[in-house]
């Protein structure tokens, strides 16, 4: 981050200090900053998941992604207006796909728009999963996990109403052959309902529940469940690593196709790396520095954490995630030399901070922000033009969040630039249940 912070002032100095060798109207210094936002990113290597690039793991992950079979009872039923997934009490209605829909894998189902309804309302907006694997270490709005497979485990227990043994028993019943073929380990035979010792694995046990059933299991059985649960996440991650969009008009422009984007989008690109200083946080081809910042997003919406205890953002996540079995600090990481938790502390300055969102395909992935309360890119740029909200959020705003004094035309230009970041969608065969294909 420190490395990036000097870019913006430096760029402004360089941009004013001479215009030798203009590139399509950009100074050399401006062009260097703009072209550093391209080409379209690929999935980041993930040595913490041995199965990250295993096609059989990805196929199993794709099946699990589209499968509602392992979800638990719905708490908030369909009232005809909320886009609910079934009647209260019904099980087997929620899949990952329920909140990551369509070509861009966003939630356009839950209503009122903004946050997401699975078995219950969640207090943040569902982000796109297209290009999620281009983040290197922090996943989710607050970096609740530091790797994609660990992050993929969180919905099961938090928004899908199941448990660790619930998942592992499901894997045994429905996917045992594929699971064992991919991961090369046998699931414990006691997971079979008909096995005389099946009681060793209670049907719904998790260390997150206070009912004590997790602690009735031996340490070895707990480890067997955790290992299979981690592998469930690794299969889901292998699938999500394939969800990468292709080059956008902006990339074709940087590659030399001068007419690939409009004059307005080009002016917007200059504002993005210059006057509007967006690049200070939205850096590199992913357009995210993967750090946490307080931008002052007001907590607006029926299901967000409102006054007086506004969403604590990153600060609220650190303590929880450092004790989590499935971070890179835990034993299910396949490459302990990668440990993103080193140096992470519970820093109160991170109160109200959120991970910088990548901006690839952003025109297709609204509504915006962790609250989902901004519905157009123009509203987002107006939010920045005002220097963020003045109240209604936790924490102290980043010093970069100051009014930008952009004209109406400059706001249009920034929007046009953001619209030039839409790449080609992921292949259609990845957007359906492979079993039903």
What residue ranges bind ligand HEC (CB under 6 A)? Answer: 65, 94, 96, 98-100, 116, 118, 122, 124, 126-127, 129, 132, 135, 139-142, 144, 148, 151-152, 155-156, 159-160, 236, 240, 276-278, 280-282, 293, 295, 297, 354, 356-357, 359, 362, 365, 368-370, 377, 380-381, 384, 398, 400-401, 414, 418
> Of 365 and 420, which CB lies nearer to ligand HEC in the complex structure?
365
The angle subtended at Cα 101 by Cα 313 and Cα 431, nearest 5°, is: 125
> Of 168 and 276, which CB lies nearer to ligand HEC in the complex structure?
276
**CB of residue 174 vs ligand HEC: minimum separation in angstroms?**
15
**CB of residue 313 vs ligand HEC: minimum separation in angstroms?**
7
**CB of residue 332 vs ligand HEC: minimum separation in angstroms?**
16
Q: What's the CA gap between 418 and 309, in Å, rounded?
A: 33
Residue 11, CA atoms < 13 Å, CB-side half-sphere = 26
Q: Is-contact 321 327, C-beta < 8 A? A: yes
Q: Tokens at residue 416, please?
A: 């046009």
> Of 96 and 217, which CB lies nearer to ligand HEC in the complex structure?
96
**CB of residue 131 vs ligand HEC: minimum separation in angstroms?**
9
- Other beta carbons less than 10 A from residue 352's beta carbon: 24
Q: What's the CA gap between 119 and 166, in Å, rounded?
A: 16
Q: What's the CA gap between 184 and 86, in Å, rounded?
A: 37
Q: What's the CA gap between 132 and 238, in Å, rounded?
A: 12
> Of 377 and 431, which CB lies nearer to ligand HEC in the complex structure?
377
> Of 205 and 277, which CB lies nearer to ligand HEC in the complex structure?
277
**CB of residue 434 vs ligand HEC: minimum separation in angstroms?**
15
**CB of residue 99 vs ligand HEC: minimum separation in angstroms?**
3
Q: What's the CA gap between 37 and 349, in Å, rounded?
A: 28
> Of 191 and 269, which CB lies nearer to ligand HEC in the complex structure?
269
Q: What's the CA gap between 42 and 260, in Å, rounded?
A: 21
């Amino acid at each position: 981050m420190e490395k990036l912070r000097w870019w913006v002032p430096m760029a402004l100095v360089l941009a004013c200090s001479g215009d030798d060798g203009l590139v399509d109207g950009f100074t050399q210094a401006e062009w260097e900053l703009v072209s550093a936002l391209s080409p379209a990113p690929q999935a980041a290597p993930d040595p913490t998941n041995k199965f990250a690039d295993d096609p059989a793991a990805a196929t199993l992950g794709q099946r699990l992604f589209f499968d509602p079979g392992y979800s638990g009872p719905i708490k908030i039923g369909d009232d005809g207006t909320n886009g609910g997934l079934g009647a209260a009490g019904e099980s087997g209605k929620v899949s990952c796909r329920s909140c990551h829909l369509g070509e861009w894998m966003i939630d356009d189902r839950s209503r009122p728009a903004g946050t997401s309804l699975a078995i219950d309302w969640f207090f943040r907006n569902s982000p796109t999963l297209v290009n999620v694997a281009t983040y290197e270490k922090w996943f989710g709005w607050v970096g609740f996990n530091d790797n994609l497979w660990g992050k993929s485990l969180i919905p099961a227990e938090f928004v899908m109403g199941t448990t660790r043994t619930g998942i592992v028993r499901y894997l045994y019943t429905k996917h045992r052959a594929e699971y064992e073929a991919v991961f090369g380990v046998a699931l414990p035979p006691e997971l079979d309902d008909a096995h005389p010792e099946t009681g060793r694995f209670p049907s719904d046990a998790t260390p997150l529940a206070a009912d004590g059933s997790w602690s009735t299991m031996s340490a070895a059985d707990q480890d067997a469940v955790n290992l299979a649960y981690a592998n469930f996440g690794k299969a889901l991650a292998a699938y999500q690593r394939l969800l990468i969009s292709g080059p956008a008009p902006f990339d074709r422009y940087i590659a030399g196709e001068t007419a690939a984007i409009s004059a307005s989008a080009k002016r917007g690109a200059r504002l993005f790396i210059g006057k509007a200083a967006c690049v200070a946080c939205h850096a590199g081809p992913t357009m995210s520095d993967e750090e946490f910042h307080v931008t002052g997003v007001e907590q607006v919406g029926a299901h967000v954490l409102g006054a007086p205890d506004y969403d604590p953002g990153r600060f609220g996540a650190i303590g929880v995630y450092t004790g989590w079995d499935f971070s890179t600090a835990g034993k299910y990481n396949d490459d302990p030399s990668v440990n993103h938790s080193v140096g992470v502390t519970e820093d109160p300055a991170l109160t109200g901070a959120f991970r910088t969102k990548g901006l690839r395909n952003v025109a297709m992935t609204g509504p915006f922000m962790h609250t989902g309360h901004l519905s157009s890119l123009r509203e987002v740029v107006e939010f920045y033009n005002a220097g963020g909200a003045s109240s209604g959020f936790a924490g102290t705003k980043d010093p970069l969040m100051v009014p930008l004094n952009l004209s109406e035309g400059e706001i249009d230009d920034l929007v046009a630039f953001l619209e030039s970041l839409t790449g080609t969608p992921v292949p259609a065969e990845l957007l359906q249940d492979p079993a039903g294909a």
